[in-house]
């Protein structure tokens, strides 16, 4: 294996969102720092998944690498949303300890580029079990201890996601290839923290010709089986309206 050289002042952090048909989740690393002799847990925290970039890879490549290492998946939605370079990113004594431990003290000043990743999280649950990585409901994050400025980064990612979901069809990245309209509605409700009228929601979706009904239906459910739908990016790109109107 090649040993890569690290760019000392730059890292990427991925905020990985998942949807389990009920609520929005985020993938976090459970970290513990143990005393080497006694094995006693000195500090514990949650972090986002990130690392320094190598000097022979692009920012995007680094983010994909981290994502792949973690979930075993590639071909996921992954997009930069902001860079974080506050002087006080690593301020507390605890954070200093983490920095030494996690980043091995490559540099004091690290600018990190935040990436937003979206996954259908019913697919990755299994592969994670071995690692110290878990899905946490987005609503519970506010009560969690997180290292560095990762909580801040998380909230900025959530904001970016909520903004973006209103103007681009990225919600589908959080669903499997085919899905029911109720699942889609639950997703939008979870994302936007709102609730919609079922009929109006479906009316709206039916105008989006890139959400295409399949012949497939649900099976084995104890109620009227729902029809499956598909998101077609191709149709979306073709029929995309060039909105010149502004809404402020």
Residues 155-184 that bind DNA (CB under 7 A): 180-183
Which of a copy of itself, DNA, none does 182 bind, CB closer than 5 to 8 A by kind? Answer: DNA
Choice between 4 and 166, CB closer to DNA: 166
Helix (H) or strand (E) holding 111: strand 111-120
For residue 98 the two structure tokens come to 């983490």
Q: Say if residues 12 and 50 touch (Cβ distance below 8 Å).
A: yes
Residue among 75, 143, 200, 242 that touches DNA (CB under 7 A)? 200
Residues 81-120 that bind a copy of itself (CB under 8 A): 82-87, 108-109, 111, 113
Is position 23 an interface residue for DNA (rule: CB under 7 A)?
no
Residue among 118, 165, 181, 187 that touches a copy of itself (CB under 8 A)? 165
Closest CA to 136 of 47, 72, 66, 50: 47
Binding site for a copy of itself (CB under 8 A): 7-10, 53, 55-59, 80, 82-87, 108-109, 111, 113, 163, 165-169, 188, 192-194, 208, 243-248
């Amino acid at each position: 294996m090649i040993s890569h050289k690290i760019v000392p002042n730059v890292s990427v952090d991925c905020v990985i969102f998942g949807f389990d048909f009920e609520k929005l989740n985020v993938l976090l690393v459970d970290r513990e720092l143990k005393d080497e002799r006694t094995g006693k847990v000195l500090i514990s925290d949650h972090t986002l998944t990130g690392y320094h970039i190598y000097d022979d890879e692009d920012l995007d490549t680094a983010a994909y690498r981290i994502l792949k290492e973690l979930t075993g998946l590639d071909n996921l939605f992954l997009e930069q949303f902001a860079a974080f370079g506050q002087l006080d990113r690593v301020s507390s004594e605890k954070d200093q300890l983490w920095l030494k431990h996690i980043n091995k003290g490559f540099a004091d000043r690290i600018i990190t580029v935040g990436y937003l990743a979206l996954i259908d999280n019913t697919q990755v649950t299994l592969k994670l079990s071995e690692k110290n990585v878990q899905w946490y409901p987005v609503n519970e994050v506010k009560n969690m201890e997180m290292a560095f400025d990762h909580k801040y980064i998380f909230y900025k990612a959530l904001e970016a996601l909520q903004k973006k979901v209103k103007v681009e069809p990225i919600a589908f990245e959080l669903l499997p290839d085919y899905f029911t309209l109720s699942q889609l509605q639950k997703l939008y409700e979870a994302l936007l923290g709102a609730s919609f009228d079922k009929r109006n929601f479906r009316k709206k979706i039916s105008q989006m010709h890139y959400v295409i009904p399949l012949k497939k239906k649900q099976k084995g459910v104890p109620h009227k089986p729902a029809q499956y739908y598909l998101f077609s990016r191709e149709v979306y790109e073709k029929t995309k309206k060039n909105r010149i109107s502004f809404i402020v």
